[in-house]
Every structure is written in structure tokens, then in C-alpha cells.
Chains A and B, each alone.
Chain A
Amino acid sequence: MKKYIIIAALALLAFTSCEKQWEDVPTFEPATKEQIIADGYTLMTVNDFKQQYFYSVLPEPGKTVLGITIEDKVALETVVVSSDELGNTYRSLYVQDASGPEAGGMEIKVGKGSMYTVYKPGQKLYIKTDELILGNYRNMVGLGGPSSESTYSNGFIDIQTIIDEKLLPGEMMGADTLVVNSSNISTIMSNAKKYLGTLCRFEGLESTWGTIKVGGYDNRYPSFMDSGDEATKNGEQVDDADDYNKDFRDYDLPVTWAYSYDNLSFYGSAAFTMGSYPFIVRTSGYSRFALEEIPADGEICDITAILTIYDSTYQLVLNSATDVVVK
């Protein structure tokens, strides 16, 4: 009888066996200011930080780039203003001071993709700056890691354990935007360095198609940068090697934020002006909205974007094409 019982019991178990069910994990605790201070860090605003550790320091004689390794235990209390969800930023995280854009913004060079899943726009982010390197690229100041190339003042923070140690997400708080319009633009742009990296809402920008002087050079807009002369027209490669900035219309293409055809992607540049101030909306060919058409020539729009600089050209970085509203 025993044998039947054993077999029956095991058979019952066999029929009822099931895979382990996993329970949800606890929610991560957001980092707090108290925790950062308890770790021995001194908090500083972004502008104070850039001023003290970068702008007030001159390059060593003979060097054209400046990379400053932060040795003090200084932390920044910031809020994330960029999102790489739609692919227009890549390996760049833009933050502005948690107290608002008046206290400055900055690029954080993090060598990872899909950062929006961890660092949400509007989420507080504490940055422990010690051992990181503050540098600039074409006048845009950013915090990063070491670079293996001497032509760059800093590189990306690539190691996940270092990223987790230095960038501590806090609670959601929302990000204020700096409103820029015809009445305050001259004030803001005369002090633009302070606002680089912040989220700005430009009200009343005019879409401008044609050749305009930006950063001291005449350039055609809207255009895309075919760095390798590989763009195709009706499937045929077009070789016009001398002209890197190419007009969409010369290729019978709709005028879009960027170029993305035939497995090739190039940056696109669209010019917007407010009075005498030109701004270039520069968009990656890898962004999800690369092939959305831009506002027509002369259209007036409001644009919410991150203010950046390339040499002396002010560029706007969109998180989404929906941040451009034609009036």
C-alpha cells in the first residue's frame, strides 16, 4: 500500500508544481540633501561651481583646453532638464540648479544611453563632483570623466559604479523654465554664459529660411550636415564635396529637423531669430522626430529647449518636437 501512496503523492506534486513567483522589489529611496551633507559634502549652486572651479581658473601656459579635476567634496543640487528618450541627446545629461535657471545649468557627460529611464526630466539630481573633471567643449562647460584624447578637456563618465556613486537621483520636483521674449532677450543674452545648460522657453521666435550670418559665418538654413558626402537623391549618391551644409530642398527632400534616410543619419540645423539674435535648433538624425517637418519660413513659434553654445553660436536642443509650438 505504501508504494501506491508514495507514487500518488509524488504524482500529485508533479501535477501541481509551479514556477517560483517573484515579488516586487522595494522602491529606491530618493537621495536627500541631508544625506549628501551627512556624507561630508558642501552644496554649491551650479553657477558658483562653474565660476569657482572653471571660469576663475586659467589654462596652463601652452594649453588650449582646460580640464579641472575636482578635488573638493562639493556637491550640486540640480534638476534634470533633458530627456534622451527620443534620441536627440545622446550621452549628455543637462541639469540646472534646483533653485531655478537663474542659478545656472550645465552638461553632464555620461556615457550611457536611455538615461531618461533613470534620470527623469524634472527629477532632482545630486551630483558629487569630487574626482570628476570639469571642462569645456567649444565654450560649453560640462562635467565629465577623464578623456583619453588630449584634444578634449574631459570625457564621459562611463563606468556604471562611478555613475551610481556620483549621480544620485532625488525626488521629482519639476523644472522651472527661463522665459525669454523680446522684452528680456537682450538682458538674458548679455549674460548668456550664466544660462547655458538651462531649460528656456523662447516666446516669439521666427523660423528663418535662407542664408544668415551666425557666429560670424554665412550659412544656409535649414540644412543638414553631410559629413561624408554620402547623402542620396532618389537613391543615387550625390557628390558635392565642398558643401557640408546641404539644403534639404536640393535633394527633393521635405524640410525636416534632420536627415535620416537609407540608414544614414545627419544632424539638421534650423534657424530661428528673435530680433537680431539668431538661434540654431540643432537636431540629431537619430532622433525620433528627425523627419518631422519644421515650421515654415517666417512662422512664429514658442520653443522650449536647452540653451547651449558652439563656439559663439547659440544652439537650442529639443527634447521633443512637441516643444515647438507654432503660433
Chain B
Amino acid sequence: MKRLLLAILLVAGSLSAMAQESVSTITGKVVSRGDRSPIEFAEVTLEASGLLSQTATTDANGEFTFTEIPFGQATLTVEATGFQLSAINVKVDRELKDLNYISLTPEMTAANDFLLDDGAFVEFDSDMSNDSQSTPVSLSASKDVFNNIAGYKFGALRFRTRGYDQNTEIIYLNGVEMTDANSGNGTWSLWSGLNEATRNQESTYATSIGTSGVGGINGTTNILARASQMRQGFRTGFVTSSGSYRHRVMATYASGMQDNGWAYAASVSARLGGNDFVEGVTYNAWAYFLSAEKKLNDRHQFAFTFFGVPTQRGAQMAATQEAYSLAGSYWYNPNVGMQNGKLRNARVRSYHEPVAMANWFYTPSDRTKITAAVSFRFGQNGYSALDWNSAADPRADYYRNLPSYWNAKGDMTHQMQLAQAWRDNREKMMYIDFDKLYNINYRSNPANGDKPTMNYEGTGIEESVAGQNRSRYIISERHTDQRDLRIKLQADHTINNYQSISGGIDLRKNRTEYYTSIKDLLGGDYWVNIDNFAERDIHATADRSKSLNDLNRSDNYIVREGEKYGYDYYAHSMVGKLWGAYNLRLGNFKLAAAGEVSYTSFYREGLYRKGLFADNSFGESEHQNFLGYNLKGNFFWEPNGANSLQLSVVAQQNAPYFQDAFVSPRTRNTVAPNLTTEKVRSLDLAYNFKAPWMQLRASVYYTEIKDQSKLISFYDDVWAAFSNMSLSGIDSRYYGLEMGMRVPITASLSASAAASIGDYTYTSNPYFTQTRDNTAATLVENERVYWKGMKVESTPQVAINVGLNYRTDNNIYLSIDAEYFDKMYLSMNPLYRTLGAMGGRLDATKIDSAFDGTIEDVIKYAAYAGEESNIRGLASQEKFNPAIVLNASIGKTWYVGGNQIGFSLEIKNLTNTICKTGGFEQMRLFSDDEYETTTGTRYSRFDSKYFYLYGTNYYLNIYFRF
């Protein structure tokens, strides 16, 4: 806090206001944000202290002029049909003030320029489902009025727009689709930290048709990250915060388009340190961005962009309520341990995946524009974790280390002993003991009595190295290293004043290598590359080859740091899309129609021939081919400038993603049963109101998604092996109301509100197949998961925000807002809702796998008397308590000799609200030995794991612009 106060005082004390008395002429040019084309008939309103508001209309070149404006502070509001309202602050300090370009965002997006600059920095990661505070909130400052508020304010509780999965929002970078090839998620982590370089964005919301493609059901964002699209000048900033990283420094320079036709830009940043809440989530994240653009003539323009974000950051893991209580913190991180008296996080994300992109812009005529782009993503992406072989589970929160385990076994003596041990030795019990792991590795060799775990004599397999120590514990790194090539071609043509068409081709080819490597041998000398789960379970005396990870090689039994082990395979995928869109304007009506056909092909290529699956692990799997389509219609009626109504319909058929398509991709080529395309139908009706006294968007929507597939992989403590649950036939339904509004109360004060009130429900009982990586047997095959009627999890289905924003004439910004969240549900373990898990409580003669009711139907139909509450206890879904969160912010900008200096300070969660933000049910069952029915064992749940909202925290940004 001292640091914070000092920073504020330094900023505030170093500057003072300047009085002015002269008058000025203000000029500017209003252009479209996307292509910089001039906007005619835009209405520009100027409000300045001591003056009545004045209005000017832009000419054919988009230009406007105001004269006789006194020096001081003024606000310009720009409105144009088809574009969102934009407001900017102007420091009137010269006789001729040329504002150059004022860019407007296309309709259905809204500017929000008077919000705090950089006041909320959040990032998005595609692979963080188990991490805390990971909910993506995009950085866009140019979104629809609802999305703008939701994006900044709802992220704390993992809000997902309309409850949809992350992969429903389509992200483009310079027009090239940048969704992840294997999961479909937005690849925000590729440019996180490059806020200035990626600030310029154009967005559409929900089912609107995008400017770079047809888009999905959850909006599109096109990030204009190239030299000519970045704000001209030099900017630098320093951030200190308590709720994300500790510090951030950033410097950016953009030349703007120069007279010689060149534009260039560079940006670098560093995010360092951890936060006040979770131990071990330290950032060591850097970022660089380079872009050069050349305008050859009025027809041709080329851009080249290269950026990367070399990042290491510690991850948090969810914990049970009991573990949080024992550790004395809502933000306990079980990934963390002590090594030589220092904190060490076993789970660190480490990635550097640079992207190189080239764009060509060709304008053969004033009405036609052709763009082509090629991008390539490469580098490495790793996520570390502890691994161990023939050794005890080292995790501090391993369930046997918690008193509840003994309680469940009815052993009160040990429960009390363990509870006492936690009370007396919390600092020791709550951390992974890395010192111990090192010492175990130091002494792990035959000279100390260790034996070969299996008799490999005569097989050529080496299991020990004379004089060296075999690591029993290591830090492994799970890699997903992508080589991703994308080619894009797009043409836009304006037929006449009423019609335009656009279309294009997208081609993607991706090869992702999934493998594990050894990151740290933790004091040992080598690791033995055999499947210790298989070795343990099959004894392998009859067939020792079954425990080998790779039958094709004999030179990789002994592996060292940096070398691969365990599994190694490629995911190959290819996608081709052909799309087109047509826009028609007839008076107050507009029609937009778009269609896309896509062809997706993917397959697995095993690089290891695994002993357990010798005939089904090496080489290519069967190729999976899917035809998809995406049809959209937008009907727009604008009876007058203030009111408009838009009806959108969408029908999609989407290919499944590689990550969900194989039952056990680490080990074999077996394709998930029932794999098919996902079908999406969506209807959206939106009302927009724009007036000087209010800006509002209200939508109602209804969406059905059918036939989704999903693979859940996890470490199964019961079998001490990786287990995979393959789900198919997941149907869900989403409907609700979405509303955002902003109301200027006075010239300085405005109110804003946003609400998302929905109902997101599973509407089918999907099929469920379970396998383990260390056995060829299918544990559960095509059983039903009885969750029909249960809620889509991990997002608040009700989220409401109200806020007040105050802006003074001398550029002080103040805001306060409150959010209310409700209908948040815990992520479900399908296993709990299967007949197998409920079997001991059901009359099996009354029900079979074809039965398709709700869990209540199951209970009513087949439960033994007295078992109803037990089944509900196992199968019901946990709903979190509602939460209210308050935030406030303050900021100020000073103008010093043509330069700007300013700060923004945001205090989040003012009331220190403690609430659950997410989590998951553990993937295992507890069998109650004391209870046996005539048909089987009674099972119950293990405690669920949760994440909690951070307490009161701050984010201070100090920035300079030259």
C-alpha cells in the first residue's frame, strides 16, 4: 500500500493545471476504424466549458471544422449512421487544433473511450480450466455497450457471454482467424502483454456477421495489430497491482503512415512478480512486437508483423474447502512447495510462440478491396507438473493427508491426530516438501538397496546406470508445440449505395506435437522411460514389452533433462473454409446474409509405439473428415436514427475438435465413440436505442447446441493412472436477456448498467465411455450420464452491473460500480451421474442404459426405498451462493507541452467479498465399505475443489504519451 500511495503522490504532485484565454479552430476527419475510409454526414457535437454545444456535419472527405473555440477543455461526440457513438476529450491549446483522424467503429460496436485507459488488464489463456482467476476478459475498448461492461466487470466471476464455451467467439488478428486449431479457443495468450499494439479492435457481438468472416454465435473480434493501425506516437506506462502480476512496464512507438509511405511500430513489455493472494503464481512474462507497413501507391499496401510473448508463470490449483481451512487461506495453492526455504511452484506455464504475419491490401477500385494474408505460429508451449515413479504421492493436499479421509473411514483417532498435526505444523503440512524429494533422488541407486522394479534381464532394457541416481520424482513438462499455417484471401466489393458483397477463403494447416519432456530431475541423474502404471499393473513378467513407452527404440530407456519420455504424438488438422456475405440496404431496412462451408480433416500420428497398444499407437489414425456449414441472416430495421431492431438467425454444423476426438490420445489411435458434428441453432432479437440522453442495447436470444463431444482426462488416484472420460451427445440450451445501457445524467456524470439474465441447461443425457491409459480394457462403455435438466456450469447465469462515471473538466475520472452474480454452478463429474455409480441404490431390473429421463425420473423409477437422498447427494449439482462485488476507480490526465501524463487506479472488490468463482467435482468415487446393498457398493462423492475470488486489490497504471 505504501508503494501505491507514493506513486499517487508522485504523479499528483508533479503537475499543475494551466489557465488559457485564447481561441482555437478545431478540425478533424472522421473515418471508419476498419479501413480508414472517410465517413460523410457524420454529426460532430462539440461541448466546451462556457459555450453552448455546437454541431457540425462531415463532408465527403469526412472532414469538419469548429471555429472560435476558447482554449480549455472540450468534448467531441461523433455520431454516424452505421457506426457507434464515439466521444473524445480535446485539450484546446492551440490556435489551429488538427485532430487528424477520428475513427468510428462499425455498427453494433460501441466506443468507450472515456473509460479508464488501461484500467483493467486481463488476459486470456486457452488451457487454464483448472487455474484460478483465469476467466478471459478481452481487452477490447471498442465493444458493444453490454460487452464493454461485461468484459471489464464480469470477468472476476468467470462470466462467459450467454454461457457459451470459449470457442464460440471468433478472434481475428489483422483479418486472420486466430482460434486454436485443436480446441477452437481464442489464442489471447499469444499477444498478452501487448496491450498497446493490440488495442485497436473492431468487434461484433453475438450473431452479427463479422467483417473478416461469417463469425459464430458469440461475436467476433478483429485485432488491428499492424503499424498503420496503431496510435501514432510514443507511449510508455508502468503498472503495479496486487491482484495479478506485481509490476508491468510497457513502451510502444508507432510512426503512423509517413509521407514516404512507410509506417512502423514497435512495442515491448514486461510483467513481473506475483500477487498478494496466491503463492507461487509469479509472472516472468515479456513481450515484443514489430510491425512495418509500406504503402506502395493508392492501390497496394503491404504489412509485415512479428510478435511473441516469452512467458513463464506459475499456476494455481483448486483445493477442497477442507484444504483451504487447514491452510488458513481462501487462496491456498497446492502446487507450491518449499525448496531450500524458498517457495517453488511445481506447475509453471512456459511458452514462447511467436507469430509472423504478412498482409497485402489491394484496392483495384474505390469500390473494391482485396486482402490476402499469411501467418505462421511456431515455438513451444509447456506446462510443468510433478511426476513420480514407484514413490509416494508428494502432494500436500493428497486426500490421505486430509482429516476428512479418516473421518470417512470412521477412524476418528487418526482424524484427530491429523487435524492436530495441521494445526501444529501448518507451514510444513501445506507445502510440497521439495527438499525431501531431492534427498530421495540423491539416494536412489542400487548401492542403497534399490532393486530393479522388474526383471528386464536379457531384454536389452537398461533400468539403472552405474554410479548414478535414478530420479523417483521429477518436474515434467507437458508440451503442445504448434506449427500453424494460415492463409487468408478476402474480397469486399460495394456494388452500389445499397448493396455490398464480401467473401473469402480461409485455409489452415496445423501440426501440434504433444509430448512430455523432463524439465528438472530434482537432484537425480536420469529417469527411466517406462510406463510405470503398466509395469505395476500387469507385472509384465510374461510380456515385459507391455510396460515400454516406445517399442520402436531401445536408446531412450534412460532419459535426461530436456529429453522426451512418456508419450509423443502429432495432432494433424486441416481446415478449409469458403465464405460469402451480402448486404442490402432498402430505406430503413437492411438485410445481411452470409454463408460458409467448411471441410475439416484431422488425425493422430503416434510417434511412439506403446507396449500396451503396439498395433494401435504408432503411425496415423484413421482420418476424421467432417463437412460443416454456417448460415446467418441479419434483418435490420432502423425506423429513425435513435431506434433500431435487429433479428438474427444462425444455423451451424461444426466439426468436433481434435482434443475431444480420441479416447486416450496420449496412448492410442482409438477414436471416441459416436464422434460427430456439433449442430447449433440460434435466434437473436436486439433493440438498440441511441440518443444524447441514453444509449441502450437489449437482446433476447435462444440457442440450442446438440451433439457436442468432450474428453476429460485426469489423474485417477484410485488407479494411480491417467483416466479418460469421453462424452458424446451433449445437448444444451441457452436463452435469456442481455441488456447494456449508458445514461449521461449531467455533462460530467453518467450512469451505466448491464445485465445478463439467462438460463443455460443441459437437455440430454450424453453417452459416456471411460478408459485408462495403462490398460486396453474399456472401463465403462456407452453408459448414460443422467444430467438432463442440470445447469451449464462455471459461469454466472445472472450477472448485473450498475455504475456511475464522473468526469471533470480538468480530466479527472471517477467511477464506482457494483456487480451482482447468481446462478453459478459447479462443474460436474459425469461419473457421479451414471448408473454404475448409483448402482448400489437402484433396482437394476427396472432400468437400463437406454433409459432417458432426468435424475428425478431415475430416483422415482428405480431407487430403493430410503436411497433417494443418497442418490441426490451423489448426483445433484452444487449451486454457489450469490455474490455482490464493488469496485471503484479514479484517474487523471495532464497535458504538459503537448505531452500527456496520467494515471488510473482501480480498486477491485472494495468490500472484500469472499465467494467461490469456480471449481470442479473430483473425478473419483468413495466406496462405503460399511454399506452393501444386494446389488452393489454404495458410492459417495469426494469433496469438490474450488477457486475463490481475490479480496480487495488494486491496479495502478501510470502512463506517458509523447
Interface set of A (CB-CB < 8 Å, partner B): 3-4, 6-7, 10-11, 13-15, 17, 19-20, 22-28, 83, 85-87, 112-114, 116-118, 120-123, 145-148, 155, 158-162, 172, 260, 263, 288-292, 319-322
Contact = CB atoms under 8 A, between A and B. Distances in A.
Contact of A22 (B344, B453, B537): B344
A85 B449 CA distance: 10
Given A19-B312, A23-B340, A148 B440 contact: no
Contacts of A6: 236, 251
Contacts of A145: 413-414, 417
19 contacts: A7-B253, A7-B266, A15-B286, A15-B310, A17-B284, A17-B310, A19-B284, A85-B390, A114-B392, A117-B440, A117-B444, A118-B440, A148-B412, A158-B417, A160-B429, A161-B421, A162-B421, A291-B539, A291-B542
6 tightest A-B CB contacts, nearest first: A14-B286, A10-B268, A121-B449, A148-B411, A114-B392, A117-B440
B296 interface: no
A49 B268 CA distance: 70
Nearest to B234: A3
Given A25-B523, A290-B539, A320-B451, A148 B414 contact: yes
B430 to A, nearest CB: 12
A288 B539 contact: yes
Contacts of A20: 284
A113 B541 CA distance: 22
Contacts of B438: 24-25
B287 A14 contact: yes
B392 A159 contact: no
B288 interface: yes
B472 A117 contact: yes
B448 A172 contact: yes
B933 to A, nearest CB: 17
Q: Is the interface of A mostly helix, strand, loop or mixed?
A: loop
B414 A116 contact: no
B270 interface: yes
B339 interface: yes
Contacts of B435: 25-26, 28
Contacts of B448: 120, 122-123, 172
Contacts of A147: 413
Interface string B415-457: 0011001001100110000111011101110001111011100
B198 interface: no
B418 A117 contact: no
A148 B410 CA distance: 8
A86 B390 CA distance: 9
Nearest to A115: B392
Contacts of B410: 148
A141 B678 CA distance: 64
B310 A116 contact: no
Nearest to A320: B451
B249 interface: yes
Contacts of B350: 19
Contact of A161 (B253, B424, B520, B962): B424
A82 to B, nearest CB: 10
Interface residues of B, number: 67
B268 A117 contact: no
A301 to B, nearest CB: 17
B266 A292 contact: no
B5 interface: no
A260 B392 contact: no
Nearest to A158: B414
A161 B448 CA distance: 24
A25 B251 contact: no
Contacts of B133: none
Contact of B541 (A155, A160, A263, A291): A291
Given A25-B339, A121-B449, 15 more contacts: A7-B267, A7-B268, A14-B308, A15-B310, A22-B339, A22-B344, A123-B448, A123-B449, A145-B413, A158-B417, A159-B417, A159-B418, A288-B536, A291-B539, A292-B455
A14 B339 contact: no
A177 B599 CA distance: 72
Nearest to A256: B541
A304 B586 CA distance: 96
Interface in B276-335: 284, 286-288, 308, 310, 312
Contacts of A159: 414, 417-418, 421
Nearest to B541: A291
B473 to A, nearest CB: 9
B519 to A, nearest CB: 9
A116 B391 CA distance: 8
B499 to A, nearest CB: 46
Nearest to A23: B340
B81 interface: no
A116 B449 contact: yes
Contact of A13 (B252, B270, B390, B417): B270
Contact of A319 (B312, B425, B451): B451
Contacts of B266: 7, 11
A10 B251 contact: yes
B655 to A, nearest CB: 36
Contacts of B755: none
Contact of A288 (B417, B454, B542): B454
B688 interface: no
B451 A83 contact: yes
B268 A14 contact: yes
Contact of B962 (A3, A26, A116): A3
B541 to A, nearest CB: 5
A289 B390 contact: no
Nearest to A292: B541
A1 B284 CA distance: 28
B737 to A, nearest CB: 45
B695 interface: no
A51 B183 CA distance: 67
Interface in B244-290: 249, 251-253, 266-270, 284, 286-288
Nearest to B350: A19
B344 A160 contact: no
Contact of A14 (B288, B451, B539): B288
B348 interface: yes
Contacts of B284: 17, 19-20
Interface in B881-906: none
A214 to B, nearest CB: 27
A15 B310 CA distance: 7
Contacts of B253: 3-4, 7
B251 A120 contact: no
A260 B421 contact: no
A27 B439 contact: yes
B391 A25 contact: no
B601 interface: no
A162 B284 CA distance: 38
A125 to B, nearest CB: 13
Nearest to A121: B449
Interface in B394-417: 400-401, 406, 410-414, 417
Contact of A117 (B270, B391, B454): B391
A321 B454 CA distance: 10
Contacts of B236: 3, 6
Contacts of A321: 455
A13 B348 CA distance: 20
Nearest to B286: A14
A161 B428 contact: yes
Nearest to A4: B253
B413 A28 contact: no
A161 B443 contact: no
Contacts of B286: 10, 13-15, 17
Contacts of A289: 455, 539, 541
Nearest to A84: B390
Nearest to A87: B536
Given A11-B288, A121-B449, A320-B451, A114 B421 contact: no
A86 B539 CA distance: 10
B453 A85 contact: yes
A85 B428 CA distance: 26
